[in-house]
Structure 1
Amino acid sequence: MAITSANQLELLQTAEAVAREKMIDPNLVVEAMEESLARAAKSRYGSELDIRVAIDRKTGRATFTRVRTVADEDTLENDKAEILLKDGIDTVKHARPNVVVFNAKSHVYDEEGEVVETRDVKRFVLRAPTENDKLLTEGVDQSADPVVGDMIADEVPPVEMGRIAAQSAKQVILQKVREAERDRQYEEFKDRVGEIINGVVKREEYGNVIVDVGSGEAQLRRNEKIGREAYRNGDRIRCYIKDVRRENRGHQIFLSRTAPEFMRELFKMEVPEIYDGIIEIKAVARDPGSRAKIAVISYDNGIDPVGACVGMRGSRVQAVVNELQGEKIDIIPWNEDAPTFLVNALQPAEVSKVVLDEDAGKIEVVVPDEQLSLAIGRRGQNVRLASQLTGLDIDILTEEEESKRRQAEFEERTKLFMDSLDLDEFFAQLLVSEGFTALEEVAYVEADELLVIDGVDEDTAKELQARARDYLEEQNRLALEKAKELGVEDSLVAFEGLTPQMLVALGEDGVKTLEDFATCADWELAGGWTTDGGERIKDDGLLEPFEVSLEEAQNMVMTARLQLGWVTIEELEADAAAESEANAQELAEG
């Protein structure tokens, strides 16, 4: 097939049709055609040649040109893509009158249209210049001879395209069109993450559902489907746009029906008060297809948030339940007081008592014996959803278990005071009953707090504190000796904030110098929690038994690094300022 024998306007008509069908710029299709024709020409004239094709946007005429760079004898490497200077000058002199020699300039303009920068563009020597070329040559000396580095373009005859060349050209065009289509799809959907979209099921691939979303395809992965959902071709489906990523191959739009945000957006569609901002969904926890809990708050005292979400005769919540394949939804009033919120979150179970440990992010819940199974739920579902909703690690105890634990703690503290202070059982129990839990409290508390105990006078109080201090000092001495036996160096012993018992714990773990201590992470010292596969896992800290908080650990590590000269005060202040600015920006965006 020869290009010259084809209807020249047919190229433009084909480009228009493809662009209209794929909703992309026709120029992109024409450029793909130009590239495909150039590849076909290279296969005919030689791959080492620089063959370029330009299709006139008005007439459809395809012009084939060979481009060569002017070089001198010392720099000439490829005589197919380069031309000697003397031959280039000769070519220009004997060329037709429409040869143009120019030194083009590229201008960079500011917002007011003023030129702020001018860049040189390599000069071209062109036969049959296009309109664009003529614009580039305005005010340029067109009679100048070419120089080394210029480029000369000679028109070559159109190629005869055989079957293989035509097939190759077709593949290039299809590839370029696909790339343009993917770029358009990405630009259209990149700002729609977080929206709900309706689509039509096209097919299923290895358990993943491919959804037609109007101007492209999206993927609903098998782990983003609810339960054992099954779809047939042509089924309508509603999904949440979870992510849009620019990918070279495969899908770019990823959908979800299991994301908590999907339920949030469904309620926003069904409850006008949520859409208007009168009611806010503060948290969502889901076991997709089975059960969910949402926490809501009303900013209008006259509107009940739970009732508004349920709707008349449950119409609003039922619409969401139907969309989620019968997923049961508990709507819970949100409360900024964590224990109160947790009591609500554990509904329908009744709670007797709540003990919150804010530092550990852990909470203990005491329930009546007969309420234990209800509080935990089937396979732990109820307590798991409540934990997700509140962001706390929940430990559920029955009243009987809590009573036994308290009794064990009472006996343990009583024995501690008996052994360390040389007291009888009755007197030790008195101390525990008054709330004393550790020897440090007895040793360094105000004497008045001991005098409130029955049978304790000033002399007895002084004696108790003296015994406690003597015992603690002896323990510190023994611990310091052990730390030094473990190889803990004086630089770490002298570090402020570390007790002898802490030094023993560090030494047993191989932290023996100030340098070792400075390389520790704060969570390695204070402990913490990590999430693996949705399950929270406890990380034990070296100093956690001494109730060192994460913030205290961080301050100690930073102080050690300052003393060693690893960081400076200015660097720490700059990092703190940057972090504060990032947090403020995140809060503003949220």
Structure 2
Amino acid sequence: MDTSVSRPELLLVADAVSREKGIDRDEVLEAMEQAIQKAGRAKYGHEKDIRATIDRRTGEVRLSRWTEVVEQVENEETQIPLAIAKKFQENLKIGEYIVDPLPPIDFGRIAAQTAKQVIVQRVREYERKRQYNEFKDRVGEIVNGTVKRTEYGNLMVEIGSTEALLRRDELIARETFRNSDRVRAYIYDVRDEPRGPQVFLSRTHPAFLAKLFAQEVPEIYDGIIEIKAVARDPGSRAKMAVISRDASIDPVGACVGMRGSRVQAVVAELQGEKIDIIPWSPQAATFVVNALAPAEVSKVVMDEEAGRVEVVVPDEQLSLAIGRRGQNVRLASQLTRWDIDILTEAEESERRQEEFRRRTNLFVSALDVDDVIAGLLVTEGFHSVEELAYAEPDELIGIEGFDESVVGELVQRAESFLVKKEDDLDSRRKELLVSDEIADLGVFTNQMLVTLGEKGIKTLDDLADLAGDELVDILGADVIEEDAANEIIMAARAHWFDEGEGASPSEG
């Protein structure tokens, strides 16, 4: 009995599909083999191990049943014990297979339809795999494509044989595309999803602007000029910080180009988006000043711990520094990654005077001194009575008009004030009925104990019932961190476990 059939037309079909879909010929033939195997199992039994092979040269199809030789049979359909197998072939070993050729299948309508579905499905899988492998390493590139169709405002863009998605929120405001329009966009993500690889495009991504400049400015492409940061309000305005690795090349001038030719080419692509090109600086204060251009800056005060910067500008520069609807300061903040607060010189002067008055009044009331002495302390940089009490005498004697007797008296008054303040806080703590057990934990100041009492936390159990974030909310994030709060609460709960251990023997 002939157990094979020559089907040279299968090779012709495989060649055609391979050329059309850009898939390897062997992968198409593997899909065909799986389709024939599925049809074979439908005829001879789904539980059996039916395998098909197609000769890559002649197109000959061979169908066979494979039975594994095992010591102990677990599946009678696909396995055979060694003792019985040796009756067919003496030299068989465990793990080998008995291969029984099967007659070729005469494909009926249903079998042919099933085989077609399997082939189509596998070809799609291979095509998706090919597309994903093609684009997974192209994230960060600019591509040109053709709008194929629009779905709910989202554009399906054809890039070669692949469809990419350009979502509506990734389009520049007010720009529209129709079918067959050419579109240039930035690949910002490629995902291998069950329904196929998804290539995501964007025209609003900050890196799109940077890549456009790399195409227009040879110095950027060659690495002589580096784009350090980009901030965009797509379709309206953008800021880009650049630096040159060659001292003889002006990075801003190179990006602008002769008569603005280079920057105008990018502006045209971005629907008229205005672009501020500024020099980058490793000095944060200088970078912030540059980023707020074209506004002029009088003074910069950095708070590195909070990541904030106060910028003082002349009164007439305020609107320019802030920009229309806060656009200029918002983009500068995004570019520098600092939170920027804008003040006029008048506002800054008024606030400084108010702060001076507040600190002066504090020293006047706490130390019972006149405005002149209190003002001198504030001018020398003392912010609180605590700083004065713990200051070295040399720091105070250096102040004009202060001698040893004045310094000694001031320090004594500061220490007396702090002692009285602590006594008053301790009395207030007792009035609020905050237990000594909480105070004896040794982790709270008297001010913190009073705050706890005012919030109703008066016993060790009250404290133990809190969560760490609740304690932080009560005392303030600037007073205690959550990790420390959690440790305190666990210490407050320790007596629960001690009581439990002590009670168990008597209960027994």
CA distance in 1, matches of 2:82, 2:403: 113
2:188 matches 1:242: yes
CA distance in 2, matches of 1:251, 1:378: 41
CA distance in 1, matches of 2:407, 2:106: 111
SS in 1 for 2:15: helix
Equivalent residues of 1:333, 1:344 under 8 A apart: yes
Q: CA deviation at 1:505?
A: 6.0
Which runs of no fewer than 5 residues in structure 2 stay unpaired? 492-508
Query: Where in structure 2 are the equivalents of 1:158-237 lying within 5 Å?
Result: 158-237=104-183
2:401 matches 1:402: no
What is the one-letter code of the residue matched to 1:206? Y
Equivalent residues of 2:439, 2:449 under 8 A apart: no
CA distance in 1, matches of 2:389, 2:116: 89
SS in 1 for 2:192: coil
Query: Where in structure 2 are the equivalents of 1:452-531 lying within 5 Å?
Result: 452-477=398-423, 479=425, 486=434, 493-494=441-442, 499-501=445-447
Aligned length: 485
User: 2:395 matched to which residue of 1?
Assistant: 449
2:325 matches 1:379: yes
Q: CA deviation at 1:429?
A: 2.7
2:349 matches 1:432: no
What is the one-letter code of the residue matched to 1:464? L
SS in 2 for 1:302: coil
2:25 matches 1:26: yes
Q: Which of residues 86, 91, 105 is equivalent to 1:144?
A: 91
CA distance in 2, matches of 1:438, 1:48: 86
Q: Can you list the C-alpha shifts for 1:156-191, whole angstroms capped at 9, x where unaligned? A: 222222222222211211111111112122222222
SS in 2 for 1:246: strand
User: 1:57 matched to which residue of 2?
Assistant: 56
CA distance in 2, matches of 1:199, 1:488: 74
User: 1:316 matched to which residue of 2?
Assistant: 262
CA distance in 1, matches of 2:178, 2:239: 30
Equivalent residues of 2:4, 2:63 under 8 A apart: no
Distance 1:492 1:351, change over 3 A: farther
SS in 2 for 1:18: helix
What is the one-letter code of the residue matched to 2:40? A
Q: Can you list the C-alpha shifts for 1:468-522, whole angstroms capped at 9, x where unaligned? A: 1222234345556777954685798446xx7554566688697979x98xx969x
SS in 2 for 1:188: helix
CA distance in 2, matches of 1:465, 1:251: 74
SS in 2 for 1:244: strand
2:297 matches 1:351: yes
SS in 2 for 1:154: strand
What is the one-letter code of the residue matched to 1:23? G
What is the one-letter code of the residue matched to 1:192? R
User: 1:154 matched to which residue of 2?
Assistant: 100
Query: Where in structure 2 are the equivalents of 1:256-275 lying within 5 Å?
Result: 256-275=202-221
Q: CA deviation at 1:23?
A: 1.8
SS in 1 for 2:341: strand
Q: CA deviation at 1:214?
A: 1.7
Instruction: Give identity over the alignment, percent.
Output: 57
2:15 matches 1:16: yes
Q: CA deviation at 1:406?
A: 1.9
User: 1:126 matched to which residue of 2?
Assistant: none
CA distance in 2, matches of 1:395, 1:170: 67
Q: CA deviation at 1:329?
A: 0.1
Equivalent residues of 1:488, 1:503 under 8 A apart: no
SS in 2 for 1:197: strand
2:339 matches 1:340: no
CA distance in 2, matches of 1:406, 1:14: 84
What is the one-letter code of the residue matched to 2:370? D
Q: Can you list the C-alpha shifts for 1:296-323, whole angstroms capped at 9, x where unaligned? A: 1122222211111100000000111111
Equivalent residues of 2:311, 2:340 under 8 A apart: yes
Equivalent residues of 2:132, 2:197 under 8 A apart: no
CA distance in 2, matches of 1:369, 1:347: 16
Distance 1:159 1:478, change over 3 A: farther
Query: Where in structure 2 are the equivalents of 1:19-98 lying within 5 Å?
Result: 19-70=18-69, 76=73, 78-83=75-80, 88-90=85-87, 92=88
Equivalent residues of 1:201, 1:210 under 8 A apart: yes
CA distance in 1, matches of 2:372, 2:285: 35
Distance 1:505 1:210, change over 3 A: farther
Give TM-score, length-normalised by structure 2.
0.84
Distance 1:317 1:487, change over 3 A: farther
CA distance in 1, matches of 2:4, 2:180: 45
Query: Where in structure 2 are the equivalents of 1:404-419 lying within 5 Å?
Result: 404-419=350-365
CA distance in 2, matches of 1:327, 1:488: 66
Q: CA deviation at 1:424?
A: 3.1
Distance 1:351 1:477, change over 3 A: same
User: 1:579 matched to which residue of 2?
Assistant: none
Q: CA deviation at 1:57?
A: 1.3
CA distance in 1, matches of 2:384, 2:477: 16
CA distance in 1, matches of 2:131, 2:413: 78
What is the one-letter code of the residue matched to 1:202? K
CA distance in 2, matches of 1:556, 1:278: 49
Equivalent residues of 1:375, 1:382 under 8 A apart: yes
CA distance in 1, matches of 2:264, 2:65: 70
What is the one-letter code of the residue matched to 1:284? V
Equivalent residues of 1:38, 1:53 under 8 A apart: yes
Equivalent residues of 1:506, 1:512 under 8 A apart: no
Equivalent residues of 1:217, 1:251 under 8 A apart: no
User: 2:233 matched to which residue of 1?
Assistant: 287
Distance 1:509 1:284, change over 3 A: farther
User: 2:499 matched to which residue of 1?
Assistant: none
CA distance in 1, matches of 2:371, 2:294: 44
User: 2:247 matched to which residue of 1?
Assistant: 301
Q: CA RMSD in A?
A: 3.6
Q: CA deviation at 1:358?
A: 1.0
Q: CA deviation at 1:47?
A: 2.0
What is the one-letter code of the residue matched to 1:227? A
CA distance in 2, matches of 1:248, 1:467: 76
SS in 2 for 1:283: strand
CA distance in 2, matches of 1:440, 1:57: 90
